[in-house]
Structure 1
Amino acid sequence: MSATTTTTITPVLIVGSGPTGLTLACDLARHSVAVRIIDKSPDFPRSSRAKGPNARSLEVLADLGVADRVLAAGSAPLPMRKYRDGLPVADADPHEASDPAPDTPYGRPRLIAQWALEEILRDRLAEYGVHVELGAEAIALTQHADSVDVALADGRSITARYVVGCDGAHSPVRKMLGVTFEGSTAEEQTMVCGDVEVDGLDRGFWHQWFDEDGAVMLCPIPGTRSGWWFQASPETDGAGNPVPPSLESFRRLLARHARLPGDRLSRAELLSTYRGNERMADRYRVGRVLLAGDAAHVHSIAGGMGMNTGIQDAFNLGWKLAPAATGRAAEGLLDTYEEERLPVAARTLGIAAERLRATLDAIKEPGGGLDSAMTAETTGLGIGYRWSPLARDTRRGTHSPAGAALGPRAGDRAPDATCRDAATGAPTRMFDVFAGPHFTLLGFGPGTADALRAAEAEHGGRLRAFGVDTGERQGLSDPTGRARTTYGITDDALVLIRPDNHVGLIAPADDGRAVGEYLNRLVGTAPATGATPAV
């Protein structure tokens, strides 16, 4: 831009205020980045389609400080009751073995309406003084060397250092960039959806009626007295085309597949037709504009990974975009967003497609249902980035060792573990230590004490260092050895945790230099401890 330009530049503009955009906005705001978030809708939607966060997304929401609110507003996942010819034939709880564990505090997903989750995230964002700007539709992008001009439909414009399109599967931002969205649409996966009221059904179950020519599924919406999610195979007209969803159509489908009187269903709203899509953007970044969530990838609803993948996109991006937007990051750091998340999206598309095939096979038999879509892979807990240039292990070369040892490798999700405060003896969770917009350096054993002190002195503005059984009063103790076992630590070692709670670096106890090199390569010289980054 011209040197004489006096236009106010927003560090980051987010287009789209669904769960992905709101998660990113909250993460950037807590990094002290001035962020704006706009949405073309005139009002906040009351969409209930996404059924809630999985185990990994709950960890993200806990780090952002809202998991307790989500747990209070939602409900535990319900057992599934399957029917044939209108009669119950089987109950199944796909999460019955998924209890919390010391390394996984959220063993199960949470049922919560999407509008309720968005409301919680908006409230959290407002605590940082940021509010969604409604009725602001982005219609054009113009990129410059150091900024992006975004034209709005009402004639206004916003200039930002970076723009992130979190604006859904039909993303105007993606289309303005000319990014391809390759894949396919499966018309045979078409479903009609809506929020309805139903009388006389037990709200303790997710009811699923399947027969040879269709299905109806009803799941109670937490936080409502009589609200249900309605999903069904659509009626078709004489030409074989899906009939648009309506109260009358839903009543006919209920009578046909569930063998229940149609008039037990009332107040059908937020109606939509879902068509199965498997598509992925070929790039997540074009210059200063990035894509996240459904704007970057869509897939089968089997396994419930759509919203969750978007939330996790945002958590991966936030800590990288924050220093880039404030001029502190190496350029290559922002490139790792695509390097890490695009392969995850490709894998997720494959998992969702495979889970859909398994479910379609299962429902051909009495007792089959949507529980076939749920596996350990759909929890999100196994997602890691071992291939990433940010995954380093100086114990055996520059990247994670090929041999599988107990505990996480560089690039993996950092697990939780319970320790004790070395001074007070009070129980302390690793996730509480990690929580916040900072790197965390764990030093296991007394041999790490010098490296911990040096790292905190040099990088204290963006790093917190904790010794585990270093013999000093400050830090953590691991009297049961559970933390060491969880992290697979035998000899004393340093473990650097990224702000998105993935292991960035594992190094020998005396290799504090590797920590400094890692951080300097990504985010340069640290600000003074306690300093607020300039925006």
Structure 2
Amino acid sequence: MKQQSPVDVLICGAGAAGLTLAIDLARRGVSFRLIEKAASPFHGSRGKGIQPRTQEIFEDLGILEQILAAGGAYPPERLYNVDGTHTDTEVIEHQQPTPAEPYQQPLMLPQFLTEGVMRERLLELGHCPEFGCELVSFEQDVNGVTALIVGNDGEQTLRVRWLVGADGGRSVVRHTLNVGFPGQTLGVRAVVADAVMTGLSRDYWHRYGKGDMATQLALCPLAGTEMFQIQAPIPLDVEVDLGIDGLTTMVAQRTGRQDIHIQSVSWASAYTMNARLADHYRVGQVFLIGDAAHIHPPTGGQGLNTSVQDAYNLGWKLAAVVAGAPEALLDTYEEERRPVAASMLGLSAKLLDGMKKGDMRRGREVHQLDIGYPDSSLALQLTGREGGLLAGDRAPDATVRNAAGHSSRLFSLFQGAHWTLLGYEVEGGPPKPGAGLHIHRFGPGGDLVDDQRQFSDAYNLASGEWVLVRPDGYVGAIVTNDDLETLHGYFAQVGLSAETF
């Protein structure tokens, strides 16, 4: 048995959550290994919606342009009536981008294409997943985890500081930890399949059997491919033929049409919908992210997005502790993310009830732009603010100009592994910037100009106030010029050097 050199993090599971964490750690210079039990990448469309908040994250990770190029907008719904007529409606509420929220529309991209873009980005950063490599067992102590893995090179023992379970709803990591996964089976079983078919326009999301779970069928053209995604509820206790013949028969029966022909099926699955939430996201040196921590019905396109944001929350915190931050910082991962998942489960269940009745309309509630951490121990609010932006909120975007007059976006200033401190008409000497902190000031002698008042409208700071933006794009603190010593203590809490001031 080979003894491998230690690394900081072992990530088990190379789906969207594991890949997000790997990309984030790679750009921060944290050592890790990303292993995946499957012999090859997942090739299905299961999670196909990229919500606006996740688009912001993908911009920060350097993959949004590729995601936008590969995907497309959701088409309107064409609902067929029993008399053969149909009605066309928009399922997705269309909102125009704003300076504070530049991405307003969910993007459709099949999961296998999203993960393909993520693997390419990871390769650019010098890493790749190890497919066909399985976590067999692990033991932990106060200093780290000893993991037994088996792959193409046989069994290996690996010593890591932390283990992250991104290994799905049947998580080996969660089971080994004996973490409870309470919830409920929702009494709905469904087929989802990716198929090339003829006889249907690709300009619509075709739906049949509104309000009747026995005859419902959805045929959605998958952006970036020649395929349609087939979605259909099925009986709980009946085996279904997921091949070409079986799916062709189902489509014919539920549409009443004989002119829709399935040419090939690249992936198909029959699954029972559940809503479950892990009792804990952290046990010692081990963490759960993504479906290992929460599973849910697919309604509303929340799952993949919530999983990406789990990883995005955890990544900068692991890197901070590697760099010397107090280990207690890692407790804020569960503190912040578990309530978000609990809320998401409730929303997905509510949308599932609507789907049963044929209501597929989706609006801002699924965009995840309003998710925040106002009750987090990392939310420092020292100014008396009524309404508007508060510590813990998502940090808005805005167009600004630098001292030379060139236009820029706050999101461009935030992009990367650093914290950002923005001062508004502050007097006196500013704090000193450091490697982990970028400082910008608006007002006389500052380096930024709010000539369009987009920053003022979004942040509503008073003269002499500072806003601190975390590496994951949330407001960490809002303080006055008189509170900088308190902010200094906050910096110690999150691992920014005392030399910053």
- Tell me if TM exceeds 0.5: yes
1:34 counterpart residue number: 31
526 and 259 in structure 1: CA distance in 2 versus 1, 3 angstrom threshold: farther
Which one of 442, 445, 448 corresponds to residue 468 of structure 1? 442
1:532 counterpart residue number: none
2:394 counterpart residue number: 413
Identical aligned residues as a percent: 37
Q: Amino acid of the residue matched to residue 477 of structure 1?
A: V
Correspondence 1:500 to 2:472: yes
Residue 156 of structure 1 deviates from its aligned partner by: 1.6
Which one of 366, 369, 388 corresponds to residue 376 of structure 2? 388
Q: Amino acid of the residue matched to residue 390 of structure 2?
A: R
1:202 counterpart residue number: 201
**Which secondary structure state, in structure 1, belongs to the residue aligned with residue 107 of structure 2?**
coil
**Which secondary structure state, in structure 1, belongs to the residue aligned with residue 275 of structure 2?**
strand
118 and 172 in structure 1: CA distance in 2 versus 1, 3 angstrom threshold: same
Correspondence 1:155 to 2:155: yes
Q: Amino acid of the residue matched to residue 98 of structure 1?
A: Q
1:3 counterpart residue number: none
Encode CA deviations 1:420-454: one digit per residue, 9 max, x unaligned: 112x211111111111111000001143x52xx32
2:332 counterpart residue number: 336
1:102 counterpart residue number: 99
244 and 279 in structure 1: CA distance in 2 versus 1, 3 angstrom threshold: farther
Which one of 407, 413, 431 corresponds to residue 454 of structure 1? 431
Counterparts of 2:486 and 2:89 in 1: how far apart (Å)? 50
88 and 305 in structure 1: CA distance in 2 versus 1, 3 angstrom threshold: farther
2:165 counterpart residue number: 165
**Which secondary structure state, in structure 1, belongs to the residue aligned with residue 263 of structure 2?**
strand
**Which secondary structure state, in structure 1, belongs to the residue aligned with residue 129 of structure 2?**
coil
Which one of 121, 124, 128 corresponds to residue 121 of structure 2? 124
Q: Paired residues, what number? A: 495
Q: Amino acid of the residue matched to residue 218 of structure 1?
A: L
Residue 263 of structure 1 deviates from its aligned partner by: 5.7
1:16 counterpart residue number: 13
Retained in 1: the 8 A contact 2:200–2:260? no
Counterparts of 2:368 and 2:500 in 1: how far apart (Å)? 36
Residue 248 of structure 1 deviates from its aligned partner by: 1.8
Retained in 1: the 8 A contact 2:274–2:296? yes
Counterparts of 1:7 and 1:142 in 2: how far apart (Å)? 16
Residue 527 of structure 1 deviates from its aligned partner by: 8.1
Unaligned runs of 5+ in 1: 1-5, 364-368, 530-535
Q: Amino acid of the residue matched to residue 106 of structure 1?
A: Y
**Which secondary structure state, in structure 2, belongs to the residue aligned with residue 175 of structure 1?**
helix
Retained in 1: the 8 A contact 2:167–2:292? yes
2:62 counterpart residue number: 65
Residue 526 of structure 1 deviates from its aligned partner by: 5.9
**Which secondary structure state, in structure 2, belongs to the residue aligned with residue 412 of structure 1?**
coil
Residue 528 of structure 1 deviates from its aligned partner by: 9.0
**Which secondary structure state, in structure 2, belongs to the residue aligned with residue 511 of structure 1?**
helix
Q: Amino acid of the residue matched to residue 395 of structure 1?
A: T
Aligned positions of 1:411-450 closer than 5 A = 411-422=392-403, 424-447=404-427, 450=429
TM-score by length of 2: 0.95
Counterparts of 2:323 and 2:441 in 1: how far apart (Å)? 31
Encode CA deviations 1:67-119: one digit per residue, 9 max, x unaligned: 01100000112211111227353222233432211111111111111111111
Range 139-148 or range 272-281, more displaced: 139-148
Encode CA deviations 1:190-229: one digit per residue, 9 max, x unaligned: 10111101112111111111253221111112222x3111
Counterparts of 2:329 and 2:419 in 1: how far apart (Å)? 15
Correspondence 1:193 to 2:215: no
Counterparts of 1:478 and 1:510 in 2: how far apart (Å)? 23
1:182 counterpart residue number: 182
Retained in 2: the 8 A contact 1:468–1:476? yes
What is the root-mean-square deviation of aligned Cα atoms in Å?
A: 2.0
Retained in 2: the 8 A contact 1:14–1:164? yes
Which one of 43, 52, 55 corresponds to residue 49 of structure 2? 52
**Which secondary structure state, in structure 2, belongs to the residue aligned with residue 370 of structure 1?**
coil
Counterparts of 2:114 and 2:391 in 1: how far apart (Å)? 32
Q: Amino acid of the residue matched to residue 165 of structure 1?
A: G
Encode CA deviations 1:341-388: one digit per residue, 9 max, x unaligned: 011111111111111112323x2xxxxx422xx231210100001010
Counterparts of 1:290 and 1:101 in 2: how far apart (Å)? 36
**Which secondary structure state, in structure 2, belongs to the residue aligned with residue 121 of structure 1?**
helix
Counterparts of 1:439 and 1:291 in 2: how far apart (Å)? 25
Residue 59 of structure 1 deviates from its aligned partner by: 0.4
Residue 7 of structure 1 deviates from its aligned partner by: 5.8
2:222 counterpart residue number: 221
Correspondence 1:350 to 2:346: yes
Retained in 2: the 8 A contact 1:244–1:273? no
Residue 235 of structure 1 deviates from its aligned partner by: 6.1
Q: Amino acid of the residue matched to residue 456 of structure 2?
A: R
Residue 468 of structure 1 deviates from its aligned partner by: 1.5
Q: Amino acid of the residue matched to residue 497 of structure 1?
A: V
Encode CA deviations 1:128-169: one digit per residue, 9 max, x unaligned: 111111110101011122121111234222221111011111
Q: Amino acid of the residue matched to residue 220 of structure 2?
A: C
135 and 20 in structure 1: CA distance in 2 versus 1, 3 angstrom threshold: same
Range 43-52 or range 338-347, more displaced: 43-52
123 and 50 in structure 1: CA distance in 2 versus 1, 3 angstrom threshold: same
Aligned positions of 1:227-376 closer than 5 A = 227-234=227-234, 240-261=237-258, 264-324=261-321, 326=322, 328-361=324-357, 363=358, 369-371=359-361, 374-376=362-364
Retained in 1: the 8 A contact 2:199–2:260? no
265 and 85 in structure 1: CA distance in 2 versus 1, 3 angstrom threshold: farther
Residue 45 of structure 1 deviates from its aligned partner by: 2.0
Counterparts of 1:42 and 1:508 in 2: how far apart (Å)? 54
Retained in 1: the 8 A contact 2:4–2:159? yes
Retained in 2: the 8 A contact 1:462–1:526? no
**Which secondary structure state, in structure 2, belongs to the residue aligned with residue 158 of structure 1?**
strand
Residue 242 of structure 1 deviates from its aligned partner by: 4.0
Counterparts of 1:36 and 1:526 in 2: how far apart (Å)? 31
Range 267-276 or range 55-64, more displaced: 267-276
TM-score by length of 1: 0.89
1:512 counterpart residue number: 484
88 and 98 in structure 1: CA distance in 2 versus 1, 3 angstrom threshold: farther
